[in-house]
Amino acid sequence: MIYTGGTIGMINDPENNMLKPFDFSQIKEEVPELNKIKCEIDAISFDNPVDSSNVNTEIWEKIGDLIWDKYEGYDGFVVLHGTDTMSFTASALSFMFVNLTKPIIFTGSQLPIGTVRTDGKENLITAIEIAADKKNGSPVIQEVAIYFEYQLFRANRTTKISSEHFDAFKSFNYPPLAEAGININYNHSSLFRSNVKEVDYFSGFNAGVSTIVFFPGITIDHLVHMFNNPQIKILILLTYGAGNLPLNDQLIDLIQKQIKKGKIIVNLSQCIAGKVDQSKYETGRQLESVGVIGAEDMTFEALISKSMLLLKKYQDVKEISKMLLHPLSGEISTLDT
């Protein structure tokens, strides 16, 4: 169990009535129910826990490197993380570890584990049970997942939808991997299994990625500035509906010129459910005809983290473009293998 930071790891300091991180080496004293789980638990805490809004690619690499260093010594891993950027971090880990044979379960809470009404205890206990669960000697879960409020989701399919409710995460384009009630009921047909049995690990990111959010009234001058930034290698267009834009000759010309210069342009819908279909409407077909890549039903969090990893891993524009739509860890429905 790795505590990186976040609300779940906080308890009340009786001296000043302030919340402070507690010592995770003493986790079984704070959550005695863990003694009833039939597995051995080792706990590691970051020396300086990170608020999830301060998480960056260096933190992703730190978590990944730590798990990779200890991968052979443990049957599963639970990562405690702040909720605000959990989907980004968990998605990134799903692309850093390819062909996983063990579970990496992210969880956290909306209330500190030291408060009476905390959701943290149930999330933590069940996440550990899932990480320890085996069938016929093999881990039931063999991918990166997020457990929150009685549901287990594929990590790279999740989005945080609420800052107030306990059910803070949803997976709109893929069914839950499991639901926890009296029993933990797994949706076995939805669990990811790789055809390759050797896990691959890559740690590294290039932040040359940016986004443009389209809205009625956006000007071409604003777009020119964003498109012409030489530091940006992958530009994600956050479009309407199934991937539509208010197209005109100036915008099409701008897109074509940037693609010819080697910039990768990706079309991602602003809708959190459904997918980009560039063949559905004329505006989408125009984008496809000039070389814009439709992101299918990837989440924003998955596309951002995957793009940064691919930029670091590959140099060739054609290879990066190909790999963006190549399923690494079940992040694209229509291309699942």
Domain count, the chain: 2
Answer whether residue 216 is part of any domain.
Answer: yes
My answer on whether 221 and 190 are in the same domain is no
For residue 337, the model assigns a pLDDT of 39
My answer on whether 174 and 217 are in the same domain is no
Answer whether residue 124 is part of any domain.
Answer: yes
Answer whether residue 336 is part of any domain.
Answer: no
Residue numbers annotated as active site: 7
Distance CA 25, CA 239 (A): 47
Q: Which of 185, 201, 217 is the last residue of a domain?
A: 201
CATH number of the domain where residue 7 is located: 3.40.50.1170
My answer on whether 99 and 188 are in the same domain is yes
Q: Which of 201, 234, 264 is the last residue of a domain?
A: 201
Question: Distance between terminal CA atoms of the chain?
Answer: 30
Contact of 121 with 29, CB cutoff 8 Å: no
Q: What is the pLDDT along the chain (337 residues), one digit of tens a residue?
A: 999 988 888 776 767 776 677 777 667 777 888 888 889 999 899 988 898 899 999 999 999 999 999 999 999 999 999 999 999 999 999 999 999 999 999 999 988 777 778 888 899 999 999 999 999 999 999 999 999 999 999 999 999 999 887 888 999 999 999 999 999 999 999 999 988 889 999 999 999 999 999 999 999 988 998 899 999 999 999 999 999 998 889 999 999 999 999 999 999 999 999 999 998 888 888 999 999 999 999 999 999 999 999 999 999 999 999 999 999 999 998 644 3
- The answer for 127, left when phi > 0, alpha when psi is -120 to 50, beta otherwise, is alpha
My answer on whether 12 and 150 are in the same domain is yes
Domain that holds residue 256: 209-331
My answer on whether 160 and 197 are in the same domain is yes
SS3 for 73-97 is HCCCEEEECCCCCHHHHHHHHHHHE
My answer on whether 193 and 230 are in the same domain is no
Q: At what angle do helices 317-324 and 300-313 cross, to 10 degrees?
A: 150
For residue 123, the model assigns a pLDDT of 93
Answer whether residue 291 is part of any domain.
Answer: yes
My answer on whether 143 and 78 are in the same domain is yes
Answer whether residue 33 is part of any domain.
Answer: yes
* Helix/strand/coil percent split, the chain, to 5: 35, 20, 45
My answer on whether 184 and 45 are in the same domain is yes
Contact of 278 with 284, CB cutoff 8 Å: yes
For residue 336, the model assigns a pLDDT of 43
Contact of 21 with 97, CB cutoff 8 Å: no
My answer on whether 316 and 196 are in the same domain is no
Partners of 160 in beta bridges? 169
Answer whether residue 337 is part of any domain.
Answer: no
Answer whether residue 233 is part of any domain.
Answer: yes
Does the pTM surpass 0.85? The reply is yes
Q: Which of 147, 177, 201 is the last residue of a domain?
A: 201
